[in-house]
Structure 1
Amino acid sequence: MAKPDTSIDPRIMDSAKEEFRTLGFEKASLKSICQRAGVTTGALYKRYAGKEELFRAVVADTVADLDAVYEERTAVPASALSDEDLIRAWYMDEEYMLWWFRFLNERRDGFVLLLTGAEGTAYANFQHDWVGKMTEGTWTYYAEARRRGLCTVDMTREELHVVLSAFWTTIYEPFIHDFTWPEIQRHCTLVCRLFDWYAALGFPKG
């Protein structure tokens, strides 16, 4: 029995990534992807049921990495944290924010596709859905801090979602606008200055 030719798989993925990045999912053409990759449409259909399955394959690693880091960062329940750790969780540490930017920059191709090229796929609302997911995790930290009297400002879950939408937009936009890494580093400093969670939620400073 002949072994399947796996040598063309990377070519298909690279071609699809370029096509989706340039045109977005809806305008992308499987024919064009195959031509650029130097493969037949039959070879592509042996691997992917259609254009959306191919798109999902292109962004799969990025989605998995995002989900994994979310699970890691929310693994310890807020109720198990000390007061000191719970307060520190809201500090806009530039080194921590730079970790996020570096993490996303290392997955730039997939992340940008999720932000700008996913219309027409299951990830069409990625920006909103990711903020919703982060809101769920962040809310438990806020609710626990408020319950303990560590912060003084009352906020609803909906209000937190709105504020986090603004926060994550400042993270999305450098990638949408194709900032270089030095530009992202400067932007990171600005974001840390802009979002003072201690002041917004009434945490004691010092």
Structure 2
Amino acid sequence: MSLPDRRIDPKILKSAEEEFMEKGFADASLREICKKAGVTTGAMYKRYPGKEALFEAVVGPTLQDIEEMALNIERYDYEQLAHGKMQSVWDMSSTTLKTIVRFSYERYDGFKLLLCRSEGSTHANFLHDFVSHHAKQTVKFLEAVTQQDDRDSQIDEEEIHMLLTAFWSTLFEPIVHDLPLEKALRHCEYVAKLFNWQAIFGF
């Protein structure tokens, strides 16, 4: 049995990314994607059973990087808790924010697709899902802080969710509005002044 020609995979993914970026998930055409990639629809379906699977393949690397970043941050937070360095956990200085913005701009196309071109896909509520996960992890972390420091946190998950929605929305706005990296980094200066997480969580 002959092995499938994997050389056409990058062509399909590149064509798909361009089509999704131009038209969004809902209006993207698989036939047009195959045409631009120079492959048959049969060859595409052997690799990706449908438009959803193809979109997932395009944004998958970005989602994987986001998950890895979140795990690294979570690991760092618990390490800081163990050493009693809580101030650094909630540090949202412009330097910290610029690190996040650079991370997102290094994966600009993936974030653009997830934030602005995913309507109709399983990632249509990307920001809400991202914030919901982050809010749950924050509540879990605050419970660990309460147990260690014997402090009572007055803020609940619903309030955390609303605040995090505002925070991440404004941090992602430069991508939504197609701002150059230089302007996005300058935007961090204002965001850092707007959100004082140490004060919100009482550290």
Please, what TM-score do these two structures have when normalized by structure 1? Answer: 0.88
Change (3 A) 1:76 1:186: closer
- The answer to whether the aligner puts 1:58 opposite 2:58 as a matched pair is yes
Q: In the alignment, which residue of structure 1 is the partner of 2:102?
A: 102
Deviation at 1:123, TM superposition (A): 1.1
Q: In the alignment, which residue of structure 1 is the partner of 2:93?
A: 93
Q: In the alignment, which residue of structure 2 is the partner of 1:189?
A: 189
Q: In the alignment, which residue of structure 2 is the partner of 1:4?
A: 4
Contact 2:142 2:153 (C-alpha < 8 Å) held by counterparts: no
Deviation at 1:160, TM superposition (A): 0.8
* Offset from partner CA, 1:45-81 (integer Å, 9 cap, x none): 1211011110000011011111111122213674972
Deviation at 1:199, TM superposition (A): 2.9
- Secondary structure of the equivalent of 1:186? helix
State the distance in 2 between where 1:80 and 1:96 align: 16
Share of identical aligned residues, percent? 42
| Deviates further, 113-122 or 2-11 | 2-11
Change (3 A) 1:149 1:13: same
Q: Which runs of 5+ in 2 are unaligned?
A: none
Contact 1:12 1:44 (C-alpha < 8 Å) held by counterparts: yes
- The answer to whether the aligner puts 1:173 opposite 2:173 as a matched pair is yes
State the distance in 1 between where 2:60 and 2:132 align: 20
State the distance in 1 between where 2:117 and 2:31 align: 18
Deviation at 1:93, TM superposition (A): 2.2
Q: In the alignment, which residue of structure 2 is the partner of 1:42?
A: 42
| Deviates further, 136-145 or 180-189 | 136-145
AA at the equivalent of 2:194: L
Contact 1:92 1:195 (C-alpha < 8 Å) held by counterparts: yes
- Secondary structure of the equivalent of 2:101? helix
- Secondary structure of the equivalent of 1:7? helix
Structure with the higher helix share, 1 or 2? 2
Contact 1:86 1:141 (C-alpha < 8 Å) held by counterparts: no
What RMSD, in angstroms, separates the aligned Cα atoms of the two structures? Answer: 2.2
State the distance in 1 between where 2:113 and 2:134 align: 20
- The answer to whether the aligner puts 1:139 opposite 2:144 as a matched pair is no
Please, what TM-score do these two structures have when normalized by structure 2? Answer: 0.90
State the distance in 2 between where 1:113 and 1:137 align: 25
State the distance in 2 between where 1:153 and 1:12 align: 50
- Secondary structure of the equivalent of 2:63? helix
State the distance in 1 between where 2:157 and 2:61 align: 30
State the distance in 2 between where 1:80 and 1:195 align: 21
Q: Which runs of 5+ in 1 are unaligned?
A: none
Contact 1:87 1:145 (C-alpha < 8 Å) held by counterparts: no
State the distance in 2 between where 1:79 and 1:156 align: 23
